[in-house]
Amino acid sequence: MDFNFTEEQEMVRDGLSRLVREQYDWDTRRGAVESDAGWRPEIWAQLAELGILGMPFSEEDGGFGGGAVDAMIVMEEFGKGLVVEPFLPTVVCAGGFLKHAGTDAQKEEHIGGIVDGSRVYAFAYAEPRGRYDLADLQTTAKKDGDGYVLNGHKAVVVGAPWASHLVVTARTSGEHRDRDGVSVFVVANDAKGVVRRDYPTVDGRRASEVYFENVSVPADALIGEEGGALPLVERVADEAVAALCAEACGAMKVAHAMTVDYSRQRKQFGVPIGKFQVLQHRMVDMFTEYEQSVSMTYLATLKLDAPEKERKRTASAAKVRIGQAARFVGQEAIQIHGGMGMTDELAIGSYFKRLTILNAEFGDVDHHMKRHIALA
């Protein structure tokens, strides 16, 4: 049993924490989120320079030999600052596919670009009618000579407006919702036939509806096994879930601290509202929910390499616990801030919004509760 971080990990956390503090203050973030681009490529370049983008890759893959715990540390710090840059889709998702199933040539091509910051990825997995089922795919990839032709529509692809490449799940065979017949492809975002409709999201990020209209890709666009990639997709999704849980922990920690702080300053009836026992107890409950979430995030992260069933069940348990906690912490943070919490002027509203939306990403509480039951 060891819940300590290594010296290197502590250094990384300190560096990131400083970056978020110095360059991600509230007004600066808002400016970036509301700008035309919606993100800051210069922050991305700094993350590359600090080695953050290469952390979870092994040294032979061109990374710095870290793993899931390192990704967790990064995501937690990002959650504290509501960082919008696409670490999750690029490093965790695209990086995950390449790490687990990429050929040497694919790793060389893609991981190098991730590590040096020159390539940005989005993960196009959800579909309009598929809810959270990773196998519910109507996007098709048909064999065509040496390569494939993709057709379909992907929903709410986070980070797609910023991406140089898309990782896409598609059917090479079978009916939608079949476990067999799922394949994974990497597609250049500017490939002929890729049509995007970009938009901002309510939690300060950018996403797209992505339509594939007879998009031709070469044979080496396929990552992993043709038609047998669902287990791989599920594994990467569990890694994304663990990373999201870490982000939620960071956001909850700050939301809670802001709320306690506000309750000390805000006076009504001649005393700080933090003196009212009913609010004190609610803030204690927020804190408890946060601590429980941290524990579940550790557990899910440390079980990512466990046998499939155990990994899945733990990831689902974490997503359930964090979804419930994020809802409670977010709602109470607004309530205790009162009217001020409803204004766009204070940061707390944005923490609440992020905590709301991440609940649905990669499956909401009900979805993961069902999966947890099914794997009992």
Partner 1 sequence: MNLEFTAEELAFRDEVRSFIEENYPKHLGDAGMREDMSPEDMVAWHKILGEKGWSVPSWPEQHGGTNWTPTQRYIWLEENARVNAFMPLPFGVSMVGPVIYTFGSEEQKERHLPGIRSGDVWWCQGYSEPGAGSDLASLKTTAVRDGDHYVINGQKTWTTLAQYADWGFFLCRTDPDAAKPQEGISFILIDMKTPGVEVRPIKLIDGGYEVNETWLTDVRVPVENLVGEENKGWTYAKFLLAHERSGIAGVARSKRAVEKLREIAGKELLDGEPLIEDLDFARKVSQLEIDLAALEITELRTLAGEQAGKGPGPESSILKIKGTEIQQRLTELTLEAVGNYGAPMYGQIDDAGSNQYPIGPEYAQHSAATYFNMRKTSIYGGSNEIQRNIITKMILGL
Would you tell me which residues interact with partner 1 (CB under 8 A)? 126, 128-129, 131-133, 136, 155-156, 158, 177, 195, 197, 199-203, 207, 209, 211, 267-270, 273, 276, 278-279, 331, 334-335, 338-339, 341-345, 349-350, 352-353, 356-357, 360, 364, 366, 369-370
CB of 11 to partner 1, least distance (A): 34
Q: Which is nearer to partner 1, 301 or 350 (CB)?
A: 350
Cα–Cα distance, 254 to 110 (Å, whole number): 34
Q: Which is nearer to partner 1, 136 or 285 (CB)?
A: 136
CB of 184 to partner 1, least distance (A): 19
Which of 100, 62, 121 lies closest to 223, judged by CA?
Answer: 100
Instruction: Identify whether the C-beta of residue 173 lies closer than 8 Å to the C-beta of residue 163.
Output: no
CB of 33 to partner 1, least distance (A): 11
CB of 36 to partner 1, least distance (A): 12
Work out the burial of residue 146: count CB atoms within 10 Å of its CB; fewer than 13 is exposed, 13-18 middle, 19 or more buried.
exposed
3-class SS of residue 60: coil
Strands 267-268 vs 271-272: parallel, antiparallel or unpaired: antiparallel
Q: Which is nearer to partner 1, 45 or 369 (CB)?
A: 369
Strands 222-223 vs 182-188: parallel, antiparallel or unpaired: antiparallel
Q: Which is nearer to partner 1, 63 or 152 (CB)?
A: 152
- Find tokens 């995007």 and name the residue: 196
CB of 45 to partner 1, least distance (A): 27
Q: Which is nearer to partner 1, 249 or 347 (CB)?
A: 347
Angle 45-49-50 from CA coordinates, rounded to 5° = 120
Per DSSP, 219 falls in state G
CB of 376 to partner 1, least distance (A): 16
CB of 93 to partner 1, least distance (A): 15
Q: Which is nearer to partner 1, 109 or 209 (CB)?
A: 209
User: What would the two tokens of residue 140 be?
Assistant: 């098709």
Cα–Cα distance, 166 to 90 (Å, whole number): 9
Q: Which is nearer to partner 1, 190 or 345 (CB)?
A: 345
Q: What are phi and psi of 363, to 5 degrees?
A: 105, 130
